[in-house]
Amino acid sequence: MFTVEEFFVIRDLHHQGLNISQISRKTGYHRNTVRKYLAAQTVPTSAPRRTRLSKLDPFKEYIQQRICEYSLSAARICREIQDMGFDGKCTIVKDYIRTIRPQAPVQAVLRYETKPGVQAQVDWGECGRIEEDGRVRKVYCFSMILGYSRMRYMVFTLSTDVSALIQCHLHAFDYFGGYTEEILYDNIKTVILKRALRASDHQWNPKFEDFFRYHGFVPRLCRPYCPQTKGKVENSIGYVKRDFLLGGTFSSLDDMNRQLLQWLNRVNATPHGTTNEIPFERLRQENLKPITAIPAYRLRREEYRKISREAYISYLGNRYSVPYRYAGREAVLELHDDQMTIRVGTEAICLHIVVPGHARVIREKKHFSGLLGEAMRCNSQSRAASRPLFTMAPPQVEHRPLSVYDTFADEVRS
């Protein structure tokens, strides 16, 4: 809008002897504009604009009332006023409601910072699928982060059961060189079976309880529906997906973990965004409980199988032989690293090395020693004891008295 000051500047330049073109070049206004304001006797004023009526005007009071009573959506209110005769589009309804809706306050979050060596956080994340041993399987990422130093450890697995959880802990402890006084978890069944009001009344997963009591750390549980409690490790899961997995190329699960370890070493050697310090350097201040203070935890995994009539059990798509006399029995597989001990009751009946691949048959000749002879004896005994399907009856001969033959002979002679 043209101001009073600009009006008098143009007239003053004209009194100084400048023509319209010179004033236009000096002020930047068009020549017609300069000519218009030189001819005017008073400062021009713009006429007030006419206020355009909106189709929404008759309904604004109703909308304000509804918004004050309930936090209804714009689409809901639009439907209501359409029933009342509104024939406009919902866009103007949304724009108007945006100006009158009370702004919800942002809930502030208190960041919880831990002291050195006090707490670590653990989480699982699902990270797509890969083909392993001829099958498409889900890939999970285990993540542990130390609360003070922000040191990260991650590993990809194909399972989230309690044995995989414990094995991942052992790898993390080895990577960090120790473990914290307590570790924070979600409310997952591999950690806790039933949560109580008091921590002393929690019902822990028995295998995991044996693990944490052996090492002497305290498991802590997140407050339900409060993701901020475990925000550090949640951020790590998203970070590994964006910064490592996205666009990556891998040949196998082992290759994924090999590249992941290289990525972890680089990330842990880079200043953290929150602390602005290098996690590897802050790790020296953690004062972790050393893993060498106690003997290594022996992790045993158990699975249950029924031995087939052919004296084999199945594990991860491969078949392993057992002594033939246990055919049809229930067995327990005790797994430790790549070794598998097969037990029937309290007796360890055989030991196998778990082999990679799929649809392979691992057969030990000694497991079938004596089976052929026993089968032949059983067959012969079975034949001896078996009853024939049918019998052949001898021909029936009629027995007659001799007097009949005498009578027949007399008839022939006569």
DSSP 341-405: EEEETTEEEEEEE---SSS-EE--GGGGTTHHHHHHHHHHHHHHHPPPS--PPPPP-----HHHH
30 is a domain residue: yes
Token representation of residue 12: 């003053």
128 is a domain residue: yes
409 is a domain residue: no
Residue 232 has pLDDT above 60, yes or no: no
Confidence bin at 410 (pLDDT 50/70/90): low
pLDDT score, position 225: 52
Residue 234 has pLDDT above 70, yes or no: no
- 176 shares a domain with 80: no
pLDDT score, position 228: 53
- 313 shares a domain with 195: no
pLDDT score, position 26: 81
- 162 shares a domain with 62: no
Residue 211 has pLDDT above 90, yes or no: yes
pTM: 0.59
pLDDT score, position 363: 93
- 176 shares a domain with 82: no
176-207: pLDDT as tens digits: 999 999 999 988 899 999 988 777 788 999 99
Nearest to 180 by CA among 210, 205, 146: 146
Per the structure, the count of domains in the chain is 4
Of 243, 276, 293, at which residue does a domain stop? 293
386 is a domain residue: no
364-394: pLDDT as tens digits: 999 999 888 887 887 777 666 666 677 777 7
- 280 shares a domain with 138: yes
385 is a domain residue: no
Residue 293 has pLDDT above 80, yes or no: yes
Residue 300 has pLDDT above 80, yes or no: no
Window from 110-119, 172-181, 240-249, 274-283 with minimum mean pLDDT: 110-119
Of 267, 293, 319, at which residue does a domain stop? 293
411 is a domain residue: no
Token representation of residue 58: 């008759």
pLDDT score, position 331: 94
Confidence bin at 350 (pLDDT 50/70/90): very high
192 is a domain residue: yes
Interval 278-306 mean pLDDT? 89
Q: Distance between CA 23 and CA 9 in Å, rounded?
A: 10
Nearest to 142 by CA among 158, 123, 126, 127: 123
50-104: pLDDT as tens digits: 667 788 888 999 999 888 888 788 888 998 899 899 988 889 999 998 888 877 6
Residue 172 has pLDDT above 90, yes or no: yes
Window from 202-206, 224-228, 357-361 with minimum mean pLDDT: 224-228
- 223 shares a domain with 161: yes
- 223 shares a domain with 76: no
- 336 shares a domain with 257: no
Residue with the larger pLDDT of the pair 158 and 7: 158
Give the CATH number, domain containing residue 264. 3.30.420.10
Domain span at 320 = 301-368
- 257 shares a domain with 125: yes
- 357 shares a domain with 236: no
31 is a domain residue: yes
What average pLDDT does the structure give for the chain? 85
- 123 shares a domain with 64: no
CA-only gyration radius of the chain, Å? 45
Interval 262-284 mean pLDDT? 92
- 196 shares a domain with 67: no
Interval 234-239 mean pLDDT? 78
